[in-house]
A and B are shown apart, each in its own frame.
Chain A
Amino acid sequence: MSTRVLTEFDLLLPASLEEALDMLERERSAVTVLSGGTDLLVAMKAGFKTAKAMSLAHLRNLDFLAYDSGSGLRMGPRTTIAQIVDSADVKQHYPALWQAAKIFATPQLRNTATVVGNLLRGSPAGDCSAAVSALGGTLVMASAQGRREVHVDNLWVSYGVTARADNEMAVELRIPAPTKGTVSAFRRLTRVNEDLAKLNVAACLQLDGSTCTGARLAMGCVAPTMIRLPSAEAVLTGATINDDTLALAAEAVQQDISPIDDQRSTAEYRRAVAGVYLKRTVQQACGIA
C-alpha cells in the first residue's frame, strides 16, 4: 500500500461503447469501470485490488450535458462536475445539483470527477449523489443485452454496492424538468471546504404558495448509503412551510437516520446537527434563509 505506487492491473481502453459493453459482458466482475477515476485511484492506492480496470477515456460523445424545459436534464458518464458548475441551465433549474457541484472537492478534481461516477461509487457521502437523490434522477444502464432504467431511489443497495449489474455501464443520467413551484437546495457540513462531508443534505420541494405539496429529502453520511428521509418528508408534505413545521421535520429526521462514528465525525454529532441542517436546507430552497 502506497500513495505513490499503484498495484498492478490490466487497463482496458475501449474505443467505442459497443466495444466497452462487449468487454463488460466478457470480463464481468473481473473489471472495475473507471471514468474520472478520482475515487478509484485513491481506493487502489489504499489497497483496493482489481484484476482489470476499464477506462472510459477514449469513448467519444459521452460528456454531453443538455437541458430541455420539457424532458429535463441529460448528461453522460463522462460529464464532469466542472461542466455542471459552468452550466447556466443547471444553476437556474437544478439549484441543489449546482450547489453540490460548486463546492465539490477541489477545482482539479472537479475537472476530472463525474456526476455519474459519484452516483455509482455508492458512497453515503457523495455530494452530487445527495442532489440527484432529491431531484429524482434516473440512470440509463446499457449492456450487450439492451438497456434499462434505474431510478435513483433503487440505485444504492448497501455501502458501495449499487443496482448496476456487472455487465452494465451507465450511459446516461436523466433528471426531470422542474415545474412551476419546484425549488431545491443543497448544504454540506465540513471542517474545511476541500473535505468530504461530515453530513450533507439535499431538498427538492414542490410548493403551492407556502404549502408544500411534495418533498424529496436526501441526507448523506447518516446511514450505509445515501438515504431519503421518509419521516421528515411526511411531515412537510401537505404542510405550510414555517418555523413550526420545520421544527417537526427536524425532529422527525431522527427516525430516518442511523449515523456511526468514523474518521470525519461522530454519531452523536451527526444526530445533533442533522435536524438543523435539514431545516436550513429547506429554508434555503424556499428562499427564507
Chain B
Amino acid sequence: MSKHFVTLNVNGEDHDVVVASNKTLLDVLRDQLNMPETKYGCGTGECGACTVLVEDFTAINSCMTLAATMDGRKITTAAGLQKGNELHPVQQAFIDKAAVQCGYCTPGMVIKSVSLLAKNPNPTEQEIREGLEGSICRCTGYLKIVEAVAAASKAMAGTAG
C-alpha cells in the first residue's frame, strides 16, 4: 500500500505527515494529529459529524476524503473557529440557545452553520433547514439548532464574520 507525504494546514498551522493511501482526512485528524473534535459517525457521508471546512468555507465530509489528496489544503475544524479566548458567534449561539444535547453532532453542526452563514449571511428558517441537510442530530429535533443559527446570523450582522 502506498504512503504519501503531505502538508495539511489545520486551523492555521502546517502539519507534515506521512499518510497511508487508505487513510481518510478524518483518520489523520483524529489518530495522527490528535484532534478528536471532528467526529466519526456513519463513515459514509450521511450524518455530517465529520464535517470540516476546506479553503475557508467549503464544508466537506472528512470521512469521505482521502488524506493523501489534501496536500497543501487549508482545513478548519470546530476547534479552529475561536479567535484567542473568544468563541466564534456560531459557537456562542449554540451555547446561548442550548442547541446541544449529547453533543456528538455539535462540531459538525457548528462547522456546517459557519459554512452556511458564509454563503448566506441572512438565511430564512427554511434556508437554514435546507443548509443543515447532511448533518443529523438524533437528540434535539433541530429546533434549538435552527434558532442558534438564526441568532448567530443576527450576531454576525455588521461584523466581518
Please list the residues of chain A having a beta carbon within 8 angstroms of any beta carbon in chain B: 2-11, 13, 34, 37-38, 41-42, 45, 53, 55, 57-58, 82, 105-109, 111-112, 193-194
Contact residues in B for A6 (Cβ distance below 8 Å): 22-24
Residue of A with least CB distance to B71: A58
Q: How long is the Cα–Cα vector from A53 to B23 in the complex, in angstroms?
A: 13
Q: Once the chains bind, are A10 and B21 in contact (CB under 8 Å)?
A: yes
Over the window 42-69 of chain B, the binary record of Cβ atoms lying under 8 Å from chain A Cβ atoms (1 yes, 0 no) is 1111101001001000111101111011
A-B contacts, 11 listed (Cβ < 8 Å): A2-B43, A3-B42, A3-B63, A11-B21, A41-B45, A57-B70, A105-B134, A107-B131, A108-B60, A194-B46, A194-B134
Q: How long is the Cα–Cα vector from A11 to B69 in the complex, in angstroms?
A: 9
Task: Tell me whether B115 is interfacial, beta carbon within 8 Å.
Answer: yes
Closest approach, in angstroms, between the C-beta of A112 and any C-beta of chain B? 5
Q: How long is the Cα–Cα vector from A111 to B43 in the complex, in angstroms?
A: 17
Task: Using A3-B44, A106-B134, A108-B45 as known contacts, say yes or no to A41 and B69 having CB atoms under 8 A apart.
Answer: no
Q: Once the chains bind, are B61 and A112 in contact (CB under 8 Å)?
A: yes
Task: Tell me whether B157 is interfacial, beta carbon within 8 Å.
Answer: no
Contact residues in B for A42 (Cβ distance below 8 Å): 44-45, 64
Over the window 99-140 of chain B, the binary record of Cβ atoms lying under 8 Å from chain A Cβ atoms (1 yes, 0 no) is 000000000000010011000000000000011011100000
Q: How long is the Cα–Cα vector from A37 to B64 in the complex, in angstroms?
A: 7
Q: Once the chains bind, are A55 and B45 in contact (CB under 8 Å)?
A: no
Closest approach, in angstroms, between the C-beta of A30 and any C-beta of chain B? 14
Q: Once the chains bind, are A108 and B21 in contact (CB under 8 Å)?
A: no
Q: Once the chains bind, are A107 and B65 in contact (CB under 8 Å)?
A: no
Residue of A with least CB distance to B42: A3
Task: Tell me whether B154 is interfacial, beta carbon within 8 Å.
Answer: no
- Report the interface size class on chain B: 35 or more
Contact residues in A for B34 (Cβ distance below 8 Å): none
Q: Once the chains bind, are B61 and A11 in contact (CB under 8 Å)?
A: no
Q: Once the chains bind, are B59 and A107 in contact (CB under 8 Å)?
A: yes
Task: Tell me whether B1 is interfacial, beta carbon within 8 Å.
Answer: yes
Q: Which of A11, A57, A108 contacts B48 (CB 8 A)?
A: A108
Q: How long is the Cα–Cα vector from A13 to B2 in the complex, in angstroms?
A: 11
Q: How long is the Cα–Cα vector from A194 to B135 in the complex, in angstroms?
A: 10
Closest approach, in angstroms, between the C-beta of B31 and any C-beta of chain A? 11
Task: Tell me whether B94 is interfacial, beta carbon within 8 Å.
Answer: no
Q: Once the chains bind, are B64 and A38 in contact (CB under 8 Å)?
A: yes
Q: Once the chains bind, are A106 and B45 in contact (CB under 8 Å)?
A: yes
Q: How long is the Cα–Cα vector from A11 to B2 in the complex, in angstroms?
A: 6
Contact residues in B for A107 (Cβ distance below 8 Å): 59, 112, 115-116, 131, 133-134
Task: Tell me whether B4 is interfacial, beta carbon within 8 Å.
Answer: yes
Contact residues in B for A57 (Cβ distance below 8 Å): 66, 69-70
Closest approach, in angstroms, between the C-beta of A5 and any C-beta of chain B? 8
Contact residues in B for A7 (Cβ distance below 8 Å): 22
Q: Once the chains bind, are B133 and A193 in contact (CB under 8 Å)?
A: yes
Residue of B with least CB distance to A46: B44
- Top 10 nearest A-B pairs (CB, nearest first) are A106-B134, A3-B43, A11-B21, A57-B69, A6-B22, A10-B2, A8-B1, A108-B61, A42-B44, A55-B69
Residue of B with least CB distance to A102: B130
Residue of A with least CB distance to B50: A108
